Amino acid sequence: MTDLLAVHTACGDSAGAAQDLAGQINAGMDGPPDAIVVFASSAFDYTRLLGELKRLCSPHLLMGSSSAGEFTHAHRGTGTASALAIRSAEMKLTATLGRHISSDGRSAARDMVADFRGLDGRHPYRAAIVMTDALAGHAEALVDELTLLTSGSYLLAGGGAGDDAKFSKTHVFLDTEVYSDAAVALEILSHKPIAVGVGHGWIPAGNPMHATEVQGMRLVGLDGMPAVEAFEQHAAAMGQSFDRDNPMPFFLHNIIGIDTGQGYRLRVPLSVNADGSVDCAAEIPEQSRVFLMKTTGESASMAAARATRSAVEALESHEPGAALFFDCVATRLRLGDEFGKELSSVGEGLTGAPFVGCNTYGQIARSDGQFSGFHNCTAVVLVLSR
């Protein structure tokens, strides 16, 4: 038997929030959870929140990350916390940690996979929820290495930890410890299907360009000109306003799409530097072919609905028991109150099954038959069977 419970608290006090979450979990489960996955605003004292949650619920495993907007099927907010509690005799769960991503992301991935128990192939369904400190960089390399080390046999879903859109410092959690420059994973081994769906509603809005100079997450040149000039030219062509001192209103509606030949991997621009370079939420490969992209609020909801539908269909004859949903903080900021419509579309696709998730600084996905890796402004849903 498997019990899956999604909970949320709007209590702003760290101990009080833990008590609220724990009260809901203890009331909804017949015994201590095997694992709790928690997402919490940067407003909290994480050590106190996690310590109190562990003391009150006694989960075997506790992991998660800081976030930039938290939600379940029933509630959403900022400055809040959400969690998924799992109690199952049909799953094997393992929590792992990789550190020092900024200096050696591939080594961090090896440390995480070293403790995975499903590499022997005995469990037909294998997945991992992965949360990383995206501000440390190298998230793409981390996901690629996790895929390589697991021979592509694991579904992956998760994202970059947030800090309420401050872009200052983010954290991941393992047990009651809090880490930066690190990533955590919850390995899920099951005899029932697990599925991941991925989707975004962005399309090219202009002519292709090439990323002629890149320094980490800083886009220096597009088509040989300072990156900011390419954005200014696009704004003029589209009849939009662009302010170098306050570019975020433009950036939220005009993100970068990397042409993969099979779709577009998205990157969110964040700020303009004095030299005309543009800092982005994740790396862009140098010399890659890119577009500036456009979308609508309706497209975002439709993309989330498609991602959910594809995951539910992949469960074969099983019904969804619960899901984790991740989408970009930029999506929430751009949509405002309409972000609730996107969450509603996820709930409708799950046909009444609960879900929990958060807004992230980039999304992690690996799913058979869909584009994989580290994304921005992309809806990612992982569905567990009932």
Coil, helix or strand at residue 48: helix
Rg over CA atoms, the chain: 20
Q: What is the pLDDT of residues 88-106, one digit of tens each?
A: 988 999 999 999 999 988 8
CB 372 within 8 A of CB 86: no
Quote the tokens at residue 97.
């940690």
pLDDT at 371: 56
CB 339 within 8 A of CB 68: no
Sign of the CA dihedral running 171, 172, 178, 180: negative
CB 300 within 8 A of CB 379: yes
Residue located via tokens 């809090």 = 178
- Rounded CA-CA distance 112/96 in Å is 5
Residue located via tokens 């800092």 = 279
Split at pLDDT 50, 70, 90, the class of 369 is: low
CB 189 within 8 A of CB 126: yes
- Rounded CA-CA distance 88/338 in Å is 35
Split at pLDDT 50, 70, 90, the class of 373 is: confident
Residue located via tokens 């954290």 = 171
Total residues found in the chain within this entry: 386
Give the global pTM.
Answer: 0.92
Q: What is the pLDDT of residues 332-352, one digit of tens each?
A: 999 999 999 999 999 999 999
Residue located via tokens 């489960």 = 29
Coil, helix or strand at residue 119: coil
Which residue from 363, 386, 2, 8 is spatially nearest to 197, judged by alpha carbons? Answer: 363
Which residue from 319, 331, 386 is spatially nearest to 357, judged by alpha carbons? Answer: 331
Q: How many CB atoms lie within 10 A of CB 152?
A: 13
Q: Does residue 129 surpass a pLDDT of 60?
A: yes
